């Protein structure tokens, strides 16, 4: 490990499946140490995790970083969005956290939309029409199904808030992650009293929203992490906003992220408000906006299909089959109770063709929202930035190129969420915009794959099957 040129910072990505930590040289962006530890997610109808596992995983990831973590001058936590963390009077979890991909609150989402003015009113107030991923719907579900847990709750946090609070002892969040709750108003950039009153949530139970560039706190004395007391703690943010920082994203540059969930987003100067609910009008982590569309089924769904077929994930063949891989319900399109659907199976259909159909179905959902995410005046010739766990897969790259008709750039930097968090921490030390820090680190550099002719035939076929099957997919909804 070469000697660092500047102070060291730590960036953390606490995601659905694991927590990763990077120790980064603030001057150069060089990663000087890293660590990672897993956590578990329940299976079945719900998706839950014990927040204490996130803390244990953070401790283990930092332990793997060795002395470099202890030398860090600042730290920031990027984390999975939307999760509902309920804490008691001792700061201990009342129950496991309800995660972003837990769709049991679909009935509550529909009711809240209706009871508080309809989709247009929600979009104007909060920037988004809440689906079952949004935290407000999970709180409503909890109040209905586990009122004793609600009565025991003294503080409500998001996943990144929980870890930040354990570092500093103070309840804080940021505008990027708060904008995914459903109870933060994008117009006023404050908690929405009407929404909170409607769902019976006391604003005093929520964390303070720290502004971009503000110090959230310092590492306290009574903790078991390898940080020095007084180490600066940045506001942190949600994972997509952190990745946008990690790319040094400028307005109009589109991003397609291939992970457990799939997302498309871009930074915008304009506050978004989509009454259809396709685009979530999130805030970003440095004062602008991050219109975003998300699918629940991306790399895990395609990998599951590959496993069922006994194939390597790259063993695809050209196909005319349609597979909608909605294995966990779906968010885009909004079909929370749907399951996967296969159409066009023939005697001569091969396993490789079925696997390619799964890729096509997953990418179709994301690209369908891309034009809605981008501002009307965005330059459509700008390459599509492909990130996330699937971005380096040949089958993913070629499917995105073929179905988008756009040039595709694959950044060489890995762990962009943790890098974005590290850039935010570095910004506390240098006074820079974290996105400018990431651009200085050249994190978006990577090969550009030329555009190919868009495969309109496949796009139209999938859209037709989706339209024809809509009654069946909607009828699958389970109103638990």
What's the whole-number mean pLDDT along residues 438-448? 95
pLDDT at 158 over 70: yes
- What is the model's pLDDT at position 222? 66
The rounded percent of the chain whose pLDDT value lies above 90 is: 85
pLDDT for the residue 305:
98
pLDDT single digits (tens) 120-141: 999 999 999 999 999 999 999 9
Q: What is the pLDDT confidence band of residue 192, given thresholds at 50, 70 and 90? A: very high
Which are the contacts of 271, defined by CB distance < 8 A and separation ≥ 6? 127, 186, 187, 281, 289
Q: Which two tokens stand for residue 375?
A: 């501002």
Evaluate whether 98 touches 48 at the Cβ level (below 8 Å): yes
User: Could you tell me the CA-to-CA distances from 231 to 10, 413, 429, 430 in Å, in that order?
Assistant: 10, 26, 11, 15
Q: Which residue has the higher pLDDT, 333 or 399?
A: 399
Query: Distance between CA atoms of 369 and 293, rounded to whole angstroms?
Result: 6
For residue 333, whether the previous peptide bond is cis, meaning omega lies within 30 degrees of 0, is yes
Tell me, yes or no, if 328 is annotated catalytic.
no
Task: Check pLDDT > 80 for residue 480.
Answer: no
As a residue count, the chain comes to: 480
Spell out the alpha helix ranges (H) of 66-205: 67-70, 106-115, 119-126, 135-145, 147-152, 159-168, 175-178, 193-199
Cα(202)–Cα(193) distance, integer angstroms: 9
Query: Around 360, how many Cα atoms within 13 Å sit in the side-chain half-sphere?
Result: 31
Among 239, 274, 360, 433, the one annotated catalytic: 239
In this model, does residue 90 exceed pLDDT 50?
yes
CA separation for the pair 189, 183 (Å, rounded): 10
pLDDT tens sequence across 212-240: 999 999 998 766 777 888 899 999 999 99
Residue with tokens 């400028």: 250
- pLDDT higher than 50, residue 167: yes
In angstroms and rounded to an integer, the radius of gyration of the C-alpha atoms of the chain is 21
Mean pLDDT, the chain, rounded, equals 94
Distance CA 345, CA 348 (A): 8
Q: Which of 47-61, 217-231, 258-272, 311-325 has the lowest mean pLDDT?
A: 217-231
- 227 or 77, higher pLDDT: 77
Query: Could you tell me the sign of the dihedral formed by the alpha carbons of 154, 156, 161, 162, in that order?
Result: positive
Query: Is the pLDDT at 477 greater than 80, yes or no?
Result: no
Tell me the pLDDT tens digit for each residue of 351-368: 999 999 999 999 999 998
């Amino acid at each position: 490990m070469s000697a660092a040129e500047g102070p060291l910072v730590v960036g953390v990505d606490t995601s659905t499946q694991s927590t990763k930590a990077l120790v980064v040289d603030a001057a150069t962006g060089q990663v000087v140490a890293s660590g990672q530890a897993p956590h578990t997610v329940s299976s079945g109808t719900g998706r839950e995790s014990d927040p204490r596992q996130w803390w244990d995983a953070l401790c283990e990831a930092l332990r793997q970083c060795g002395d470099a973590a202890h030398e860090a001058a600042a730290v920031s936590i990027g984390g999975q969005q939307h999760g509902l963390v309920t804490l008691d009077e001792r700061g201990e979890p009342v129950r496991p956290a309800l995660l972003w991909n837990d769709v049991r609150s679909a009935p509550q989402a529909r009711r809240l939309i209706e009871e508080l003015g309809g989709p247009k009113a929600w979009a104007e107030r909060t920037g988004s029409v809440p689906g079952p991923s949004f935290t407000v719907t999970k709180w409503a579900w909890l109040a209905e199904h586990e009122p004793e847990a609600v009565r025991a709750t003294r503080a409500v946090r998001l996943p990144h808030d929980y870890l930040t609070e354990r570092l500093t002892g103070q309840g804080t969040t940021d505008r990027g992650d708060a904008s995914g709750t459903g109870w933060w108003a994008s117009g006023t950039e404050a908690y929405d009293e009407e929404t909170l009153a409607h769902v019976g949530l006391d604003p005093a139970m929520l964390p303070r929203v720290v502004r971009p560039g503000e110090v959230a706190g310092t590492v306290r004395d009574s903790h078991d992490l390898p940080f020095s007391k007084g180490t600066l703690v940045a506001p942190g943010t949600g994972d997509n906003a952190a990745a946008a920082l990690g790319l040094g994203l400028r307005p109009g540059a589109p991003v397609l992220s291939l992970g457990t969930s799939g997302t498309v987003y871009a930074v915008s100067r304009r506050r978004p408000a989509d009454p259809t609910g396709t685009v979530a009008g999130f805030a970003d982590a440095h004062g602008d906006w991050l219109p975003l569309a998300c699918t629940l089924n991306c790399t895990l769904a395609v990998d599951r299909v590959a496993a069922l077929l006994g194939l390597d994930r790259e063993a695809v063949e050209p196909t005319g089959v349609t597979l909608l891989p909605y294995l966990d319900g779906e968010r885009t399109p909004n079909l929370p109770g749907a399951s996967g659907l296969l159409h066009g199976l023939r005697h001569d259909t091969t396993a490789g063709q079925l696997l390619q159909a799964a890729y096509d179905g997953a990418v179709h959902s994301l690209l369908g929202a891309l034009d809605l995410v981008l501002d009307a005046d965005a330059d459509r010739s700008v390459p599509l930035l492909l990130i996330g766990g699937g971005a380096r897969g040949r089958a993913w790259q070629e499917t995105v190129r073929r179905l988008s008709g756009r040039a595709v750039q694959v950044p060489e930097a890995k762990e962009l969420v943790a890098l974005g968090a590290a850039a935010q921490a570095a910004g506390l030390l240098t006074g820079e915009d974290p996105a400018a820090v990431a651009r200085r680190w050249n994190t978006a550099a990577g090969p550009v794959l030329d555009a190919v002719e868009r495969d309109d035939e496949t796009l139209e076929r999938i859209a037709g099957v989706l339209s024809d099957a809509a009654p069946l997919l909607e009828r699958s909804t389970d109103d638990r």
